[in-house]
Chain A
């Protein structure tokens, strides 16, 4: 059974720091992996989607990598800003089986302090 873990659960950094958020999954048979951002009391915003055949995706100051063999994805945020404060969730879509719905981590709550 696929399980997704995000560590740490919470992170606080000073403005301007480069940081890495981690997402681990137990089954390497994935179709894709998606990173989302969620502000308090709001819906989710899709940040990056990585297909299983890809190693990384970039959007602005964000870079997501995928290593299926080790069951890991990282979200790199460069030059963090207070506006980056939010909860970041990763979700994995299995590549096999009848039920291929997204499997979610619990998220990392990020606070970027001015």
Chain B
């Protein structure tokens, strides 16, 4: 069964350092999402891609966060510089189209010290 892949699974970094996360969606899925989830809360959408284009990045802190999906397949989310408040689970999801069922990867647990 096809799955969304994410790496790394865990990341510990010091504040002010740069960190990057990678996501490979299910093959054929045009829509890719990056979410941030704080313990006890629902996921918060950071950025949504349709193929290589950004559809929604209204909640992405653009002064420090960036995301790209250059060839419309895999995607990278970067934080520079990391802050203590960025500690969270970062989830990637994909769907066949903009309104389809979303499938999530295992997530990356980020701890900023």
> Which single residue of chain B is at the shortest CB-CB distance from A40?
B39
B85 an interface residue at 8 Å Cβ cutoff? no
Give the chain A neighbours of B58 by CB distance below 8 A.
99
Residues in B neighbouring A43, C-beta threshold 8 A: 4, 6, 91, 104-107
Task: Give a binary string over B7-46; 1 marks a CB under 8 Å from any A CB, 0 the rest.
Answer: 0000000000000000000000000000000001111010
Q: CB < 8 Å: which of B43, B89, B101 contacts A46?
A: B101
B69 to chain A, nearest CB (A): 17
Q: Given A42-B107, A100-B99, A101-B56, do A106 and B91 touch, yes or no (CB 8 Å)?
A: no
Contact residues in B for A42 (Cβ distance below 8 Å): 106-107
Interface size class of B (residues with CB under 8 A): 20 to 34
Q: Quick one: closest A residue to B101, CB to CB?
A: A49
Tell me the nearest residue of chain B to A87, going by C-beta: B40
**Is A104's CB under 8 angstroms from B42's CB?**
yes
Q: Residues of B at under 8 Å CB distance from A?
A: 4, 6, 40-43, 45, 48, 56, 58, 89, 91, 93, 98-99, 101-107, 109
23 pairs from A and B in contact (CB 8 Å cutoff): A32-B99, A34-B101, A36-B104, A41-B89, A42-B106, A43-B4, A43-B91, A43-B105, A44-B43, A46-B101, A46-B102, A46-B104, A91-B42, A99-B56, A99-B58, A100-B99, A101-B45, A101-B48, A101-B56, A102-B45, A105-B42, A106-B40, A107-B42
